[in-house]
């Protein structure tokens, strides 16, 4: 399996240059940060769905203010909600679909489009690519760096799903390791089977024999 190179550079117009050609940044199906005023608050979503009591939300907001951490992290770490419950609430807040990475095996061609360093830094899990549309799972739809990383991928558009951070990290550890192992195995195969010239003569001439 041959991995696609990801040495793209951005030009002054914000487009991505690849192999001498220029393609527009990928269209990303993420709400913009400016939409925040019209979105329901995460805590209110959980209360409305009767997944969190108003008293527990107040306590969590106090912890958030004291620690400076995100409300979702406070809720999960304090045991007030589970990771998948939080993910569903975030999906409702942002209007995005969810993906259960525990039951998904990503496609190799999708994995090859996102460098492992970017995938780990922004917690982006590629899932599959169909007709130029790359499907990915992310953990934080409110992070502008995630949107920037997705728009830099050399595809027509990116469809975004939400998944818990722990599931994304587990998938990254599993499938990028497998991809790297596959690449190493391919490299070893070709290294072992590279053409070698031998000093053996053909019956009808003196051309060297190429043995694989």
* pLDDT band for position 177 (cuts 50, 70, 90): confident
Q: What is the pLDDT of residue 118?
A: 95
Q: Residue 181: is its pLDDT beyond 90?
A: no
* Helix (H) or strand (E) run with residue 56 in it: helix 54-67
Across 5-14, 37-46, 164-173, least confident range: 5-14
Main-chain phi, psi angles of 181, to 5 degrees: -65, -40
At 55-80, the pLDDT tens digits run 999 999 999 999 999 999 999 999 99
Long-range pairs of 86-92 with CB within 8 A, sequence gap ≥ 24: 86/164, 87/162, 87/163, 87/164, 89/42, 89/45, 89/46, 89/49, 89/51, 90/42, 90/141, 90/162, 91/162, 92/40, 92/45, 92/49
Q: Residue 110: is its pLDDT beyond 80?
A: yes
Q: What is the pLDDT of residue 208?
A: 25
Half-sphere exposure of 53 (CA within 13 A, CB side): 4
CB 28 within 8 A of CB 148: no
State pTM to two decimals: 0.69
Q: 133-138 and 157-162 as β-strands: parallel, antiparallel, unpaired?
A: parallel
């Amino acid at each position: 399996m041959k991995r696609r190179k990801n040495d793209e550079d951005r030009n002054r117009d914000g487009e991505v240059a690849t192999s001498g050609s220029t393609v527009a940044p990928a269209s990303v199906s993420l709400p913009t940060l400016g939409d925040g005023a019209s979105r329901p608050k995460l805590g209110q979503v959980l209360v409305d769905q009767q997944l969190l009591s108003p008293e527990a939300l107040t306590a969590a907001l106090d912890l958030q203010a004291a620690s400076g951490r995100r409300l979702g992290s406070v809720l999960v770490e304090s045991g007030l909600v589970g990771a998948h419950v939080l993910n569903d609430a975030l999906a409702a807040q942002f209007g995005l679909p969810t993906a259960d990475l525990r039951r998904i095996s990503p496609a190799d061609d999708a994995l090859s489009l996102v460098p492992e360093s970017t995938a780990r830094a922004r917690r982006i899990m590629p899932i599959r690519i169909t007709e130029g549309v790359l499907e990915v799972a992310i953990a934080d739809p409110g992070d502008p760096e995630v949107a920037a990383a997705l728009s830099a991928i050399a595809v027509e558009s990116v469809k975004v799903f939400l998944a818990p951070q722990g599931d994304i990290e587990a998938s990254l550890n599993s499938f990028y390791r497998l991809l790297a192992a596959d690449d190493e195995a391919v490299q070893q195969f070709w290294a072992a089977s590279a053409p070698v010239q031998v000093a053996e003569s053909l019956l009808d001439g003196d051309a060297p024999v190429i043995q694989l």
